[in-house]
Amino acid sequence: MSVLEKKGAGGRGPVPEKTPGDSAGSGAPDATRTAPERARPSGRRGLPLVLNAASVALGIGLWWALAAVGFKLPTPPEVVSRAGTLIGDGTLADDALASLTRVLIGFALGTAVAIPVGFLMGWYGILRGLIEPWIQFFRTIPPLAIIPLAVVAMGIDETPKIFVIFLAAFLACVISTFQGVVNVDRTMINAARVLGAKDATIFARVVVPASTPFILVGMRVGLGSAWATLVAAELIAAQEGLGYRMQNAQLYYDLPTIFVGLITIGILGLLMDRVLLLAERKLTGWQERR
């Protein structure tokens, strides 16, 4: 018996009473329930894009102003010029591809391991007691601190770079998945069991859908951790990559190249986050949003 079942065993969920607004024998949904599903006014649909564009323009203007008043920052035209040079000779494309490949592999592996481990920790109390102390132990150690050990144990090829990215994504996602499972409403589990559902059905039809929002949030946090770990991971004898290019530019005080790397990482991370956000909206369409 799972932890969630033990907590909810011995009691049935309350039977909801009909309210005056319910129509007996009618399949038509109540007006208040369909209100959140109504389409937003067309004037508000484009408002977030307008606000995003205004925010970007304001940020660039502030950056330009800081560079103009004496801060040691390259101006936007200098960064655009350097980006054009790096794009023209293919350097930026090669570096972006190398970094994106490392992040995608590490993030995919970390997520693929974190989700089942999180489910097992939340569903079975014995496994939670065995695994959780190790998860909490490694969660307090920054993945960057693992780099020396990874180099000694795995060499200086791609393996240690991907491993530290994997670790960052795994630790962020496994905790969120675990919390999603333990926070499943016990009333839903009790109701499914009263209706005759078996363990596998309860897990697949109740626990997994209810945990999906937590999993996707954990994936978004893990994605940010993966990109944050990338620059340090590419210190391990890398020959290409955005982090490597930025570290190399630091030696020559090449600020425009550093800014190109930072902006490229930010854009790639933002695009990947938007993909996850789109997946979240598709998979959790039943969830009410503001």
Domain count, the chain: 1
Judge whether 19 lies within some domain: no
Is 220:172 a contact under the CB 8 Å cutoff? no
Residue 237 has a CB neighbour count (10 Å cut-off) of 12
Judge whether 242 lies within some domain: yes
| pLDDT at res. 36 | 47
Domain interval for residue 276? 74-283
| pLDDT at res. 103 | 93
Span 119-144, average pLDDT: 86
Terminus-to-terminus CA distance in the chain, angstroms? 37
Is 141:105 a contact under the CB 8 Å cutoff? no
Chain segment 62-80, per-residue pLDDT in tens: 988 988 888 888 889 999 9
pLDDT at 289 exceeding the cut of 70: no
Of the pLDDT bands very low, low, confident and very high (cuts 50, 70, 90), residue 112 is very high
| pLDDT at res. 183 | 83
Q: Pick the closest to residue 212 from 273, 275, 283 (CA basis).
A: 283
Is 211:180 a contact under the CB 8 Å cutoff? yes
Is 26:18 a contact under the CB 8 Å cutoff? no
Span 174-179, average pLDDT: 89
Of the pLDDT bands very low, low, confident and very high (cuts 50, 70, 90), residue 25 is very low
CATH number (domain holding residue 212) = 1.10.3720.10
Of the pLDDT bands very low, low, confident and very high (cuts 50, 70, 90), residue 287 is low
Judge whether 23 lies within some domain: no
Judge whether 64 lies within some domain: no
Of 13 and 94, the one with more pLDDT: 94
pLDDT at 19 exceeding the cut of 60: no
Q: How far apart are CA 13 and CA 232, in angstroms?
A: 51
pLDDT at 260 exceeding the cut of 60: yes
| pLDDT at res. 258 | 92
Span 1-13, average pLDDT: 50
- Environment class of residue 5 by beta-carbon count within 10 Å: exposed (0-12), middle (13-18) or buried (19+)? middle
Of the pLDDT bands very low, low, confident and very high (cuts 50, 70, 90), residue 102 is very high
Judge whether 134 lies within some domain: yes
| pLDDT at res. 113 | 94
| pLDDT at res. 156 | 79
Judge whether 220 lies within some domain: yes
| pLDDT at res. 265 | 92
Of the pLDDT bands very low, low, confident and very high (cuts 50, 70, 90), residue 41 is low
Judge whether 52 lies within some domain: no
Judge whether 257 lies within some domain: yes
Chain centroid to CA 125:
26
Of the pLDDT bands very low, low, confident and very high (cuts 50, 70, 90), residue 35 is very low
